[in-house]
Amino acid sequence: MTAVGRRERKKLATRAALREAALRLALRHGVEHVTVEQIAAETDIAVRTFFNYFSSKEEAMVAAVAAEADALIGEFRDRPREEPVLHALREAVARVIAGSDADALRLIVRAPSLLPQRLAVYATREKALAEAIADRLGLSPDDLYPAVCAATALTAMRVVLERWLDRPADHAALREQTEEVIGLLAAGLERRLP
């Protein structure tokens, strides 16, 4: 697939090192107090080079989220095509979450200054997920359903994740809440006064 020489590998490694350094420093000093200079120093590269990899400090910090979003899409594409869309999404989410670092996620999700960039990450992944959904159903990526399904599903997952991070709970609870939300989306959201 992506044939990589040493050059590519080193770039990937540097990018990962910067991402991890940013997160490590944020855990140690708090997200607000980390500077690009610190991140660069921790990774032993020039400040200028940092900006060759990330266009902002925030982008480096939410890179972990971006990686998980990409993983989610990959898992979704790997699900058997006979599965209904939301069912496949639920399983993909479960697999990604199982291998996630809750502490790092909590740090990122709870930092107000990272909210805009984090949301931007989700939004930029919407298109890729919409294409995956369109592929699965044999629809055009320009159709309304793939776009709406991708965007709303990602949003619903975000809400679940935020709620879960806000309460002390285990991974089983997260899985349960994921299923509940998928159930809501599948059943339709219309409601009225009893």
Shortest Å, Cβ 156 to DNA = 29
Buried b / exposed e along 138-160 (16+ C-beta atoms within 10 A) = eeeeeeeebbebbbebbebbeeb
Candidates 64, 136, 161, 164; binder of a second copy (CB under 8 A) is 136
Residue 16 touching DNA (CB under 7 A): no
Q: Is the dihedral of CA 175, 181, 187, 192 positive or negative?
A: positive
Q: Which stretch binds DNA (CB under 7 A): 3-11, 21-29, 127-135, 139-147?
A: 3-11
Q: Mask 149-178, x = binds a second copy (CB under 8 A)?
A: x-xxxxxx-xxx--x-------------x-
Whole-angstrom Cα distance, residue 27 to residue 23? 6
Locus of tokens 């107000």 = 112
Binding interface with a second copy (CB under 8 A): 81-87, 115-117, 119-120, 123, 126, 136-138, 144-145, 147-149, 151-156, 158-160, 163, 177, 180-181, 184-193
